[in-house]
Chains A and B, each alone.
Chain A
Amino acid sequence: MTIGIHVPILAIAVPLLGAFALPIFAKVHRNLRDLWAILVAAFTCAMVVALAVQVFTSGIQLYTLGAASPTATVVQGGFPIRIVLVVDGMSAFMGLITALVGLASLMYAFQFLKEEQGKTLAMTLFFLLWAGMLGMEYTGDMFNFVFLEVTSIAACALVGYRTWESRPPEAAFKAMAMYTVGGLLVLLAVGILYGEYGALNIAYLSSKISGTPLDKVALGLLLGGLLMKAGTVPAHMWAPDAYGEAPAQAAIVLVANTQASLYGLFRVLFTLYGGALSTPAVGWLVTALGTLTLLVAALMAVIQTDLGRLIAYGAVSQIGYMLLGVGVGLTVISSRPDFGLVAMKGGIFHMMNDAATVGLLFLAAGVVKRACGTKDLRALGGLGHDLKWTSGFFFLGALALAGIPPLNGFASKFLIYESSFRLSPILTAIAVLGSILLLAVFVRAFQGVFLGPRLRTVQPAPLGMLIAMGVLAAIILAFGLVPDFFVRHMVTPAAEALWRGRDLYLAAVLGG
């Protein structure tokens, strides 16, 4: 047995096993639990990275569950009946984001969470959420979007497990309601497609979908459900509550979770419906929603008085930039001009950048909450005297989020500006306006929280939390200083997988 061919499933199964075994180890001893968590996380990250290397060097990786061989995707007659994992450039890229965020979250959690406040519970839920996100990203099967439900349940529980406080359960309930409706819409769409074509495999469905009215209904339901879970504007109201009330180490995983939903959306738009319905109308819809999201969320961020909610609106607005980039690509995909691919690269690169910058901001806000017991901007001030590293990290994250060169936010936003300008200058103007608003908001927040006279003396953040933030800060700097390297080796394969990769995807699964 070689481990190499089993890498895709190990990346999902090991964190799942880790999640369920964690409480048992915790009953034996705390240190055993921590050791287990570290081992599982390290193994999962190693699998994700190994898989990404395989994909970027030798193309799409397949794994068929329960078959006689991992690449035996179809039974006789060319019909794919088993559950298939299909990892192309985009999936591998999303896996890297998820692994990075998960690693930072876990490093932070060890010293951030308190034993008597459900540390074991939070870590268990984290691993469950991690496994669910990786499952969503690697699956090649519509029904395996049930991982969507796994992430929903784990995410809501992570938001609301602190039942001794009044607000987290309320936020969790709101998120649960939205997630459930979104999940039901997706399930209904999957049911329609299954009823119509008798299959659930994405590649097989994609080869059959011809654009009947039922297909369009299913597309609408999928769009609605996945956008709801991604927190785009008409259905964004759960996101600020959930992000604001979740503990910091969970909030950053929730950011990666919304991106997993976005990934699902992109997979549906480009691969599942790539043959029949990738019309400019759908592209314009996505572009318009993206533009609306980034503007509305940036405007809402201006009036927030709670640091957590403020960053949350910043996070929602970043979702808008991703949708804008990919939407521009989708609008022009039929003629495939160069700037379409540039827009896709920008949108996809921005996912990684958003995970790092928003994650860093949430972690810094977590340090503030831990030190002062509040995130109310009106009650905070002068924390820079004691929290030197944290204030530096927050400043870095704020600048990167607003897209100031030479940080990573600029690198990806510039690609989006440049290409959306070719489609319509109005889009670019709104996107730049959103960035300016965010800059104003975050400079004000930084000034209010960290600058000014010392109001109180607080304990600085422990080393483990600083290292977690340092990792994300290093990513921000590295991606900002040498964006070309990362764009060429990671982002371009991911963008190409959506842009032109549908035929390769179908050929890999259905055997040409």
Chain B
Amino acid sequence: MSVVVRTIARIIVPMILAFGGYVIMHGHLTPGGGFQGGAVVASAVALIVVVFGAERLKRRKTLLSLLEDLGAIAFIALAFLGIGVTFFRNVLAGGGGLFGVPVPPGPNPGFLDTGGTLPLMNWAVGLKVIAGLGSVVVLFGLFGGKDDR
């Protein structure tokens, strides 16, 4: 791709990553969440594939599949955290520790440090979707064969 496209992609990719991270991180407060944010980040991967070619990312395939596995395992492990009471029990919510601040009743701007295991699960799903969709995009790029890049 031409130098204009490459330069703009270099500027835009960090922004997409930041926005995707924001959507994942605020999944328990605003519309969105792990899947949606993961898809946003994967669109950055798609941009990289289109602009710089899939060959650049070929070596990262193993890393991506490993991350995808880890995301799924993390999700199930978080669900297992609650097994002392019931599976999927939100044991961190309101406990005062990580993401454990109790939510004050009534309208509020949204507090990030709440939600217990929910934000963590959003991150696990996000990781899985980033890696999963990302590797799908990379594979499509690789199967495309030689083109004008």
Which residues of A are interface residues toward B (Cβ below 8 A)? 1, 6, 9, 13, 16-17, 20-21, 23-24, 27, 63-70, 83
Give B82 Cβ to nearest chain A Cβ, in Å: 7
Taken together as a complex, chains A and B put the C-alpha atoms of A67 and B72 apart, in Å, by 22
Q: Give the chain B neighbours of A63 by CB distance below 8 A.
A: 86-87
Q: A1-B83, A13-B79, A24-B66 are in contact. Are A66 and B90 (CB under 8 A)?
A: yes
Taken together as a complex, chains A and B put the C-alpha atoms of A27 and B84 apart, in Å, by 31
What are 23 A-to-B residue pairs whose CB atoms are below 8 Å? Answer: A1-B84, A9-B87, A13-B76, A13-B80, A16-B76, A17-B76, A17-B77, A20-B69, A20-B72, A24-B69, A24-B70, A27-B66, A65-B86, A65-B87, A65-B88, A66-B88, A66-B89, A66-B90, A67-B86, A67-B89, A68-B89, A69-B86, A83-B88
Query: Quick check: A66 and B73 within 8 Å, CB to CB?
Result: no
Closest 3 CB pairs of A and B: A20-B72, A66-B88, A9-B87
Q: Give the chain A neighbours of B66 by CB distance below 8 A.
A: 24, 27
Q: Taking the complex as formed, is B85 at the interface, i.e. its CB lies under 8 A from any CB of chain A?
A: yes
Interface string of B82-102 (1 = CB under 8 A from A): 111111111000000000000
Give A16 Cβ to nearest chain B Cβ, in Å: 6
Taken together as a complex, chains A and B put the C-alpha atoms of A56 and B70 apart, in Å, by 38
What would 17 more interface pairs be, CB under 8 Å, given A6-B87, A13-B80?
A6-B83, A13-B76, A16-B76, A20-B76, A21-B69, A21-B73, A23-B65, A23-B69, A24-B69, A24-B73, A64-B86, A65-B88, A66-B88, A66-B90, A68-B85, A68-B86, A68-B89
Q: Give the chain A neighbours of B65 by CB distance below 8 A.
A: 23
Query: Quick check: B69 and A13 within 8 Å, CB to CB?
Result: no
Q: Give the chain A neighbours of B79 by CB distance below 8 A.
A: 13
Taken together as a complex, chains A and B put the C-alpha atoms of A67 and B88 apart, in Å, by 8
Q: A21-B69, A23-B69, A24-B69 are in contact. Are A66 and B76 (CB under 8 A)?
A: no
Interface centre among A21, A68, A69 (most CB of B within 10 A): A21
Taken together as a complex, chains A and B put the C-alpha atoms of A69 and B66 apart, in Å, by 35
Q: A23-B65, A23-B69, A24-B66 are in contact. Are A70 and B76 (CB under 8 A)?
A: no
Q: A9-B87, A23-B69 are in contact. Are A66 and B80 (CB under 8 A)?
A: no
Q: Give the chain B neighbours of A21 by CB distance below 8 A.
A: 69, 73
Q: Give the chain A neighbours of B87 by CB distance below 8 A.
A: 6, 9, 13, 63, 65-66
Query: Quick check: B69 and A66 within 8 Å, CB to CB?
Result: no
Give B73 Cβ to nearest chain A Cβ, in Å: 5
Taken together as a complex, chains A and B put the C-alpha atoms of A248 and B71 apart, in Å, by 31
Q: Give the chain B neighbours of A23 by CB distance below 8 A.
A: 65, 69
Interface centre among B65, B80, B88 (most CB of A within 10 A): B88
Query: Quick check: B82 and A17 within 8 Å, CB to CB?
Result: no
Taken together as a complex, chains A and B put the C-alpha atoms of A65 and B72 apart, in Å, by 18
Q: Give the chain A neighbours of B73 by CB distance below 8 A.
A: 17, 20-21, 24
Q: Give the chain B neighbours of A69 by CB distance below 8 A.
A: 85-86
Taken together as a complex, chains A and B put the C-alpha atoms of A70 and B66 apart, in Å, by 33
Residue in B closest to A72 when the chains form the complex, CB atoms: B86
Q: Give the chain A neighbours of B86 by CB distance below 8 A.
A: 6, 9, 63-70
Q: Give the chain A neighbours of B89 by CB distance below 8 A.
A: 66-68
Give A226 Cβ to nearest chain B Cβ, in Å: 26
Taken together as a complex, chains A and B put the C-alpha atoms of A66 and B82 apart, in Å, by 8
Residue in B closest to A64 when the chains form the complex, CB atoms: B86
Q: Give the chain A neighbours of B72 by CB distance below 8 A.
A: 20
